[in-house]
Amino acid sequence: MTVTYDELRNLWLDFFKSKQHAAIPSASVLPENDATVLFTTAGMQPLVPYLMGEKHPAGNRLANIQKCIRTNDIGEVGDHCHLTFFEMMGNWSLGDYFKNEMIAWSFEFLTQKLGFKKEQLAVTCFAGDANAPKDEEAAAAWRAQGLQDNQIFFTTEDNWWGLADGGPCGPDSEMYIDGGKPACGPNCNPTCSCGKYTEVWNDVFMQYLKKPDGSLESLSHKNVDTGMGLERTLAFLNGEGDVFMTEIFEDCRLKLEEISGKKYVENLVPFRKILDHLRTAVFVLGDDRGIPPSNTDQGYVLRRLIRIAIRNLKKLEVNDFVLPKLAECVVEKYKKYYPELERNKHFIMDELEKEEQLFNRTITAGLKEMEKVLARVQNGQIDGQTAFHLYDTYGFPLEFTQEMAAEHNVKVDTDGFNKCYEAHQELSRKGAEQKFKGGLADHSEKSAHYHTATHIMQAILRQMFGTTVMQKGSNITPERMRFDFSFDRKMTPEELQYLEEKVNEVIGQKIPVTCEEKTLAEAQAEGALGLFTHKYDAEKVKVYTIGTVSKEVCGGPHATNTGDLGHFRILKEESSSAGVRRIKAVLE
């Protein structure tokens, strides 16, 4: 069965619409109001408040196709299926249907919509451990669909899904396609890596709540959270098995062959790294919350990806600046579903070009230095100080040095590197790495107060400087808020004082913060602030109103009354990027 990218997307959304699901848009790939993660890693992540019991405006049955980035796989990219960016097709039950319905629908979708034969399927179910029992229910549901016992495997590995910091969690059942290769041995099962089985889908049954002491409690509100990898499924359906051979990458792959004069099939690893990393970079830059390359957090990941792509271009003997040309193919391919890429195209192209120029100044000298380092390496390891020197002087991110070292079977002392790095950076890199691992979105009361403070501050800034002032980003932790907005000059001390006083005045007025659900069109008609980029009309949004001060479309959560916020104090006002100012403030 040959399926196109468009068809696969439609098959997914239409199937779940036929099961009364509302199609919701993909959230930003840069999480909003969540300082615990750098990128959106799964469709469920922006839905955490709803999985915890908050009512979703679109109902109890949701489906979407979410832009995701998982950077822990950076080093794996180069084979036929690992990607740093991917689209996750997902569906959710928020306390509605559960295991039996979901397994029956999974079977129906795989066999009737995607055309897999029942005999090709293999599934895993949770084998049970000290905390939770064996998932016999899921296995019975698969048997009810006609799967034989030799197609149902019980494991504990990869059969539990939850967030690092607790919250809703439960056993999952993963679905694999048996490609027909002989078993690699008597213990061959879907979780082994012999290549017989390819994972396509994961059904998570969130039936427990993990408490702070680690114990589990049964949830009265049981959820389903599923995710299917779009690229892998497409590759499998079309028989190539290689995600880079799907139509998704076709234009970019052919462009790279044309530019380099080299063939993909003869240069698999550099081609794959360039194609993957560039696509991810385009989605980070092209997001409506997009950020430029930098030395911290998301910007640092972006910088690593772009620089690794540049080095792999050099491996293909491409020394011209070609990233924007390749990026053009990515924008063209995706703009129909992600119009933000077209909207932010200039930013994408400018930043890629700037980064290419910046790195070009040091990469040649750095590569020479690297040759010397490799020649004098002892005990098969580059010490941390040297790795830091390569970073600091030549702009070689750690992963970049590691990649080159690995080609010579040499390791890098990462702890040593981190020590040097931490000594030189105000922001600990380890702290940033921590955020890749994901975690429960921060919904503490204090953070809710900070969210409300950003709304008040934005309203006052617009009163002061006019409606061209718009929020460009925010980052909130329970300790402080950071708020970026469009404005083209430094604020004066008097203006800052006025702003602070006005925000405190609104706090002093003890105004109730109210929330209503509306369609986007209604919200827009009422003049609510927000990004009106959603694609699905059925989608309802939350509109938070603070008296006559502010009205904004926002996911929340918020304070219930401005009087709860405490005293607002501005710590700093500075430039964030061209035409964007940043205010750091605290509530005391």
For residues 278 and 326, the answer to whether their CB atoms sit within 8 Å is: yes
- In angstroms, the Cα distances linking 378 to 368, 399, 406 are 18, 20, 14
Assigned token pair, 195: 């290549």
Q: Which is nearer to ligand SER, 62 or 341 (CB)?
A: 62
Minimum gap (Å) between residue 226 Cβ and ligand SER: 5
Minimum gap (Å) between residue 398 Cβ and ligand SER: 27
Bridge partners, residue 379, by sequence = none
Question: What are φ and ψ of residue 349, in 5° steps?
Answer: -65, -45
End-to-end CA distance of the chain: 61
Residue 161 engages ligand SER in binding (rule: CB under 6 A):
yes
Residue (of 64, 51, 44, 17) closest to 534 by Cα position: 64
Q: Which is nearer to ligand SER, 202 or 447 (CB)?
A: 202
Residue 227 engages ligand SER in binding (rule: CB under 6 A):
yes
Q: Which is nearer to ligand SER, 200 or 323 (CB)?
A: 200
Q: Which is nearer to ligand SER, 204 or 322 (CB)?
A: 204
For residues 549 and 570, the answer to whether their CB atoms sit within 8 Å is: no
Assigned token pair, 417: 């590197």
Minimum gap (Å) between residue 188 Cβ and ligand SER: 23
Angle formed by the axes of helices 345-375 and 323-334, to 10°? 130
Residue 225 engages ligand SER in binding (rule: CB under 6 A):
yes
Task: Write the single-letter amino acid at 408.
Answer: H
Residue 438 engages ligand SER in binding (rule: CB under 6 A):
no
Q: Which residue is listed with tokens 């740093």? A: 84
Window 197-216: contact mask with ligand SER (x via CB under 6 A): -----x-x------------
Residue (of 185, 125, 191) closest to 152 by Cα position: 125
From the list 42-50, 53-61, 474-482, 484-492, the region that binds ligand SER by CB under 6 A is 42-50
List the one residue from 8, 38, 42, 583 that touches ligand SER (CB under 6 A).
Answer: 42
Total binding residues toward ligand SER, as defined by CB under 6 A: 10
For residues 173 and 124, the answer to whether their CB atoms sit within 8 Å is: yes
Q: Which is nearer to ligand SER, 43 or 171 (CB)?
A: 43
For residues 38 and 435, the answer to whether their CB atoms sit within 8 Å is: yes
Minimum gap (Å) between residue 106 Cβ and ligand SER: 12
List the one residue from 44, 302, 310, 461 that touches ligand SER (CB under 6 A).
Answer: 44
- In angstroms, the Cα distances linking 111 to 114, 149, 152, 269, 330 are 6, 18, 16, 34, 31
Minimum gap (Å) between residue 44 Cβ and ligand SER: 5
From the list 106-114, 221-229, 496-504, 559-567, the region that binds ligand SER by CB under 6 A is 221-229
Q: Which is nearer to ligand SER, 161 or 417 (CB)?
A: 161
Residue 124 engages ligand SER in binding (rule: CB under 6 A):
no
From the list 36-44, 122-130, 419-427, 544-552, the region that binds ligand SER by CB under 6 A is 36-44
From the list 101-109, 224-232, 338-346, 486-494, the region that binds ligand SER by CB under 6 A is 224-232
Residue 90 engages ligand SER in binding (rule: CB under 6 A):
yes
From the list 135-143, 178-186, 225-233, 253-261, the region that binds ligand SER by CB under 6 A is 225-233
Question: What are φ and ψ of residue 472, in 5° steps?
Answer: -115, -10
For residues 343 and 288, the answer to whether their CB atoms sit within 8 Å is: yes
Determine how β-strand 152-155 pairs with β-strand 121-126.
Answer: parallel
Query: 3-class secondary structure for 286-309?
Result: CCCCCCCCCCCHHHHHHHHHHHHH
Give the footprint of ligand SER on this chain (CB under 6 A). Answer: 42-44, 90, 161, 202, 204, 225-227
